[in-house]
Each structure stands twice: as structure tokens, then as C-alpha cells.
Amino acid sequence: MRRIAPGAAAIIAGIALAAAAVGDERADRAFEQAKGALARGDRDTAIARLNDAIRREPKQAKFLGIRGVVWLGKGEYAKGAADLQAAIQLNPDDAGLKYPPSAGARLSPEALRHGRRQVARMLHDRPAMAQFGPESEFLRLWAARKFAGEDLGTPIDWDPSPPLHSDAEHLAPAGNDHAAILVAALYDSGANKGRPRSFEELWAGAIYELHNVTHARDFVRLNDEADEGKVSKRAFVAGILKYELHAAQQTRAFYLHVFLPWVQKKKLSTDPTLWFCDWWDTPEGVLQSFKDRSAYPWRPYARTHDWATVQHHWRQGRFRNALRLLEQMRTEKGYAEDEEDVQYWIDRCRERLGKQAAAEAAQRTTETKKTPKAPR
């Protein structure tokens, strides 16, 4: 799952960059001033303030990365690319440092045919992705190899269904079912609700999920650990975020090395925040920056952990614990899709607790009858 950012100004002013690293206070102050300038739409002042921040802290990846975003917003492709490249080099353990767009794996003719079929279906279902025709063939060829299983090792399918929780998601392989990716055709919320997603938005989502799906087995393992009561809610959310951040860094590197040069050649506008060029932090730092527990990444992953915990309590016969959590889940807003399921399991827990109480009462009655009278 991923989030789509609304653009550079909103990102600078928003929570994604709220957790600044401890450093030169004057550099941090200049960065805050850059954020304010961007909120006003004043890119030139933002650049000047970011220049000041970088002069004071030249090894702060975030400062360079955000300046790259601003340069690209001004159509300064070379300057933007240079800043993004420098930021990746400075960002600790960034997955983009040694990113190869293609793994060069040998794929069977059958696997390649599968990959090409999935791309054809994706473009049929999301025709905006076919914009630019043969000029964007490089994207289709790359995606075909990923659908063929170049990175995952097994085939990946295109699923035209709308994602449940975001603009793009993936499904893990299970039994005879392949892994799959899903990309929303329309915005389903916010000011853009109902608006079709653009060529760049759709491709950014697909490319991210074709990276993210390679962690599908890690996500399944985390779910299994939650199902067994072995991982806390925070650790569960942080674990998923770690893998998603890795995929985001790969997607950012793809943008820098593959998509952006094409955009520059065609002199097209681009939104680098769609490609995670605003994320310059550790998984823990990113997690701390997202304060709203009703939004990503807490939604939907905290809810996923809740359901796993309910099932764990149920299997252990801890119906009161399960009921307590379910009643808390019922009060949380924004989960209309599982309201009926929550109520169903509340009723089942109450039923089991009622039977337990009746059985305990009957046991006490039986024990009372069997208790011999004390001799006189």
C-alpha cells in the first residue's frame, strides 16, 4: 500500500517531514522558512532558504532531497536530478544506492508472455497509462518483466479491482493464486474525489507496487506473528512500514534513473512527490512523523493487527479480551467496510461468555449439591 502525495507545497507543510533531525538550529530554522515559502507558492525564496540550510548542514539528505523537489517544480530537471542523487548518497542505507532497474534475470518465454499479457490488461483497464504510445514503451517493457516474476521469482497478475485502502495495493501469493497488484483509476476521497488519475500517477502507483510486492512474504510473516500474538501493534505497523519504505526508495531510484530522464527529454511537468522524493528519514522517523492514527500507516495496518489479535484471543478462549478489543474497534471511525464483521464477532464473544457463565453457574450448583453436610 502507498500514499499519493498532493504536491511539494503540501508535503513541505505536512506531517511527512514533521520529524526533523537534530542538528544546526539555524539550518532547521532555514528549513522551516523554506516550508513557509513553499506554502505560499514562493519557490525562489524556498530555494534560497534551502541553500542556507544546506550550507550549514551539507550532509543532511532531507535538505538536498527537498531542494530537488522544488527544482523539479520549477522545471529545472538537471538541478533537481543532481540534488536527488546527492540525497540518496547521503541517506543511510538507502535502497536506491545500488538500485538496478532490471535484475537481468533469465525469464522463460512462458513467463514473458504472462508478463506482456498482464501489461496489456492493465493498459486496457487503465487507458491513461497508454498515453504517449510507443514513446512510453520502456515502462511497459519494464513492467512486463516484473509481472513475469523477475524480482519475486513467481508470476504476478494485474487485478482491475479498486484497492480497498489506498490508491495502489498488492495481494500476496496464496496457494495456486499468483501475487497481484491493484491501482485505482479514480481518486476516491479528498478534493480530487472522482477525478481520473493521470498517466504519471497511475504508473507511479504500479511501479511502486511492483517493487512492494517483492516483500509479500515478509508481510505474510508479520501477519502470522500477529496472529500468534508475538508482535505488538506498534512493532507490526513499524515492520510493514520498513518494507514499504524500502520499496519507496527503490521507486524513487527508478524515477531518478529511468522516468525523470524521459520526462526531461520530453520537457513534461512532473510531480516527484508521487515517487517518494519527499521521504528522507529512517522507518522509525517516518513512523513518528505520522501522528494521525486514523491515517497511513496506522490505517489500515493497526486495524489488521487488531483483527489478528481478536482471532488470537478467540482461539485461546480469551473471549472477554477479544470482546474488549472489538468494542474499542467499533468506536473507531472510518472503518465502515468491517462494521458488520465487528458486530458479528461481538455477538459471538457475548454468546460464548454467556455460555461460559452458565456453565460456571451450573458447575457451582453441582459442587454445592455434592458438598457433604458437616456432622453435628
Rounded Cα distance between 157 and 180, Å, is: 4
The structure's pTM equals 0.85
Is the model's pLDDT at 236 over the cut of 80? yes
* pLDDT tens readout for residues 307-339: 999 999 999 999 999 999 999 999 998 888 899
Give how far the C-alpha of residue 201 lies from the chain's centroid of Cα atoms, to the nearest Å: 15
In sequence order, what are the residues at sequence separation of 6 or more whose Cβ sits closer than 8 angstroms to the Cβ of residue 211? Answer: 151, 247, 250, 251, 254
Confidence grade of residue 8 (pLDDT, cut at 50, 70, 90):
very low
pLDDT digits (tens, 9 = 90+) for 109-123: 999 999 999 999 999
Span 131-138, mean pLDDT? 96
Domain boundaries along the sequence of the chain:
109-247, 317-367
Instruction: Give bridge partners of residue 196 from the DSSP assignment.
Output: 186
pLDDT tens-digit map of 84-100: 999 999 998 999 999 99
- pLDDT (0 to 100) of residue 297: 83
**With pLDDT > 90 as the criterion, what percentage of the chain qualifies?**
74
In this prediction, residue 327 carries a pLDDT of 95
pLDDT in tens, 174-191: 999 999 999 999 998 888
- Segment 35-58 shows an average pLDDT of 94
